[in-house]
Amino acid sequence: MSEEKYLVDIRHEQLSFFTSAGEVKALNDVSIRMKEGEVLGIVGESGSGKSVTAYSIMGLTAQNGRIVGGSVEFNGHRIDEMKEKELRKIRGSEVSIIFQDPMTSLNPVWTVGNQIEESIRLHTEKRGAEVRKRARELLELVGINEPEKRLGQYPHELSGGMRQRVMIAIALACEPKLLIADEPTTALDVTIQAQILELMQDLKKKLGMGIIMITHDLGVVASMCDNIAVMYAGEIVEYGTTDDIFYRPMHEYTKGLLRSIPKFHEKDYERLIPIEGQPVDLLNPPKGCGFAPRCQSCMKICLAKKPPRTDFDGLHYSRCWLLQKEEFLKNREGELSHV
């Protein structure tokens, strides 16, 4: 089989934050491959490493964070080997990002126009009136009315949904190959959420860029994504197509996530089932499976050893000892007794 070209090719990435309390192992052997124009959803709870994974594609880690193992490749660049100065040329041009909170992500003391034009000037040859024209086009593209007037306004004069549209306009200024959307709708009203998601799908069709959608909202990923990575404690615990994840979930955490979505079509009154317990402390990562302490089907081996990868049809894989049961039943029955 010939080597396929990927837009994003992360292999066994390990990333740690070095804090005064010690090394926080935020990512532990994360591998992701994504083709051009694909939409990947990364799902997980706070601190699972979903944002860190995506940010590392543009070399945008906090000061004390460092890739300590593996490789990160994006659009032919080895991100983990690049210097800050080289990364700057890629950021905003080949890969862009929109953040969770549009209220605070725009600089309050500069006009919207200024902040869009800044991106255009940084990465293109356009100058003067051309820059202004492009900025106006971008605002039209993201569905903002009266673009000429908006360019002269300050962020505080716009609503939340409008500001997120401006953020998207900034991100698309140089037609990036990849757009990272870090919980782009979390801070918005539900009605506005739908509008923004619709806009993103629309733009994807028009511009054909790849999107990484970081979210803890399974509803968002279901409607938008081709593939989904479920992350827990700095690892991908399950990966597959959207159908795989929703109809054939293999990992206990994924199943738990799906159980905690409200279902409206069920006739019977049904309680939501929360996942009990707290996320792991990555300062002292567990020896075994990160989810084991919260898992209903936890076995002795889960606490002692990291589960290997189990592959299913196509891209679908998961890391869980339960899936290895058959392999093990043959000779190591003792280790599989439930605790």
Partner 1 sequence: MPKYIAKRVLMALVTAFLVATLTFFVMNMVPGGPFLAEKAVTPQAQAAMEAKYGLDKPLHVQYLTYMSGLLHGDFGLSLKKRGRTVAQIISTKFPVSARLGGIALLVAVFFGVPFGSVAAFNRGKAVDNVLVVFSTAGIAVPSFLSSTLLMFIFTTKLNLLPSLGLKNPQSYIMPVIALSLYPASYIARLMRSSMLDVMGQDYMRTARAKGVSNFMSIFKHAMRNAILPVITYLGPLLASLMTGSFIIEKIFNIPGLGSEFVGAITSRDYPMIMGTTIFLAVFIIAMNVIVDITYAIVDPRIKLR
**Angle subtended at Cα 196 by Cα 142 and Cα 130, rounded to the nearest 5 degrees:** 15
**Binders of partner 1 in range 60-79 (CB under 8 A):** 60
User: Segment near partner 1 (CB under 8 A), from 30-38, 94-102, 285-293, 308-316?
Assistant: 94-102
Task: Answer yes or no: are the C-beta atoms of 156 and 110 closer than 8 Å.
Answer: no
Residue 171 or 200: which CB sits closer to partner 1?
A: 171
Per-residue contact string for residues 118-157; x = within reach of partner 1 by CB under 8 A:
xx--xx------------------------------x-x-
Per-residue contact string for residues 158-187; x = within reach of partner 1 by CB under 8 A:
---------x--x-----------------
Q: How far is CA 37 from CA 40, 175, 180, 203, 322, in A?
A: 10, 12, 12, 11, 34
CA distance linking residue 46 with residue 215, whole number of Å:
10
**Binders of partner 1 in range 29-58 (CB under 8 A):** 58
E strand or H helix at 219: helix 218-224
Residue 51 or 254: which CB sits closer to partner 1?
A: 51
CA distance linking residue 55 with residue 24, whole number of Å:
17
User: Segment near partner 1 (CB under 8 A), from 27-35, 68-76, 115-123, 246-254?
Assistant: 115-123
Q: Does 96 bind partner 1 (CB under 8 A)?
A: yes
What minimum distance in Å lies between the beta carbon of 173 and partner 1? 8
For residue 227, give the 3-state DSSP assignment: strand
CA distance linking residue 283 with residue 21, whole number of Å:
8
User: Segment near partner 1 (CB under 8 A), from 117-125, 126-134, 257-265, 283-291?
Assistant: 117-125
Task: Answer yes or no: are the C-beta atoms of 165 and 151 closer than 8 Å.
Answer: no
Chosen residue from 25, 50, 77, 91 binding partner 1 by CB under 8 A = 91
What is the token pair recorded at 126?
A: 């356009």
CA distance linking residue 87 with residue 330, whole number of Å:
51
Interface residues with partner 1 (CB under 8 A) are: 58, 60, 87-93, 96-97, 99, 101, 104-111, 118-119, 122-123, 154, 156, 167, 170
